[in-house]
Structure 1
Amino acid sequence: MRKFNLLIILGLLIFAFASVGYAAEIYTLSFGHGVMSSHPTHFGALRVKELVEERSDGRLKIDIS
């Protein structure tokens, strides 16, 4: 019974600390294309960047090159 209680407590601690680390991370994605900055593909990539950063509340960043 003691081991079972210890396993329950350890399991709860693992889940508690795992969720804190997940919430704090910011991921950066890199998107590269071979067109000029005046090309419609570039404008589309900029729009996708805006939408992703807005909808992820800043947790996802996209670098366009």
Structure 2
Amino acid sequence: MSGKDDAKDKALGNAAKKAMEEAKKAMEEATKPVKDMHENLKLSVEETEGNNEALMTCTKLLSWKQI
């Protein structure tokens, strides 16, 4: 009976491992849109910061009447 128990335990372990892999894949797919949106927001913030820096430089130059 020990051999049967070992086989059963191994089968249950394999099934649990497969279920965990499927759950992980489903979670990654479910969170992908949020991760993509977060990345786009980070890029927008970086672009805005760059634009703000350029505007501040232009403002300083204008105040010094260099342009």
| TM-score interval for Structure 1 and Structure 2 normalised by the shorter chain | 0.3 to 0.5
State TM-score, norm by structure 1.
0.46
TM-score with structure 2 length normalisation? 0.45
User: Which structure shows the higher strand fraction?
Assistant: 1
Q: Which structure shows the higher helix fraction?
A: 2
Instruction: Work out which structure has the larger RCO, using CA pairs closer than 8 Å and 6 or more positions apart in sequence.
Output: 1
